[in-house]
């Protein structure tokens, strides 16, 4: 049983996270569940989104390592990626 409830996308659209959620929906990354889980703490959610974007979108991390991270995350989530 999870300890943190996921917020609905509609709920998130009424918060300061709305622009970030719209970007997630438009680009389909990260998954909107990213904010649905962390949205209880908007400052944390915003900081994690910025960190995610820095790591995955600026070329700061080698592409091969990013692929390894994606595979490990999909395995952890039992995704058939």
Q: How far is 26 from 3, CA to CA, in rounded Å? A: 29
Q: How far is 20 from 45, CA to CA, in rounded Å? A: 9
> Does residue 2 register a pLDDT over 70?
no
Taking the whole predicted model, whether its pTM rises above 0.75 is answered as: no
Q: How confident is the model at residue 1 (pLDDT cuts 50, 70, 90)?
A: low
Q: How far is 28 from 10, CA to CA, in rounded Å? A: 17
Do 24 and 18 meet the contact criterion of CB atoms below 8 Å apart? no
> Does residue 22 register a pLDDT over 60?
yes
> What pLDDT digit, counting tens, does each position of 7-17 carry?
999 999 999 99
> What pLDDT digit, counting tens, does each position of 35-73 carry?
888 899 999 999 999 988 887 788 777 889 888 988 888
């Amino acid at each position: 049983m999870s300890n943190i409830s996921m917020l609905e996308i509609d709920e998130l659209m009424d918060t300061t996270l709305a622009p970030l959620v719209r970007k997630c929906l438009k680009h389909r990354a990260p998954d909107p569940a990213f904010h649905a889980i962390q949205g209880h703490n908007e400052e944390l959610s915003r900081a994690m989104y910025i960190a995610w974007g820095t790591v995955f979108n600026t070329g700061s991390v080698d592409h091969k390592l990013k692929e390894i991270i994606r595979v490990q995350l999909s395995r952890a989530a039992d995704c058939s990626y």
